């Protein structure tokens, strides 16, 4: 899918992994990015060995940034609920 989106958009500036799997599964991130080096997407294996922290896991020679960004879905739901119920 990343390759298809990159083609449709004429390239990408960054790939962002988030939510449960994206922020907690280094092996999944590695597998998803494997073979996308021709697009400039490369992960640094050492940097990628992280869970639940915001970090740039791009390889030094990557031309496309790869980020891991933790989410807090419960907080977003709570804020949205508060906003809707306070009107």
Question: pTM of the entire structure?
Answer: 0.80
Beta strand ranges found along the chain (DSSP E): 14-18, 55-56, 65-69
pLDDT tens per residue across span 1-59: 898 989 999 999 999 999 888 899 999 999 999 999 999 999 999 999 999 889 999 99
Assign residue 40 the CATH number of its domain.
Answer: 3.30.420.40
Report whether 55 contacts 43 (CB < 8 A): no
Please give the residue range of the domain that contains residue 22.
2-85
Question: What domain count does the chain have?
Answer: 1
């Amino acid at each position: 899918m990343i390759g298809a989106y990159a083609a449709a958009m004429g390239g990408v500036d960054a790939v962002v992994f988030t939510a449960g799997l994206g922020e907690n599964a280094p092996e999944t991130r590695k597998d998803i990015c494997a073979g996308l080096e021709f697009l400039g997407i490369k992960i640094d294996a050492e940097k990628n060995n992280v869970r639940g922290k915001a970090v740039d896991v791009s390889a030094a020679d990557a031309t496309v940034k790869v980020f891991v960004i933790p989410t807090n879905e419960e907080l977003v739901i709570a804020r949205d609920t508060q906003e809707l119920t306070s009107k």
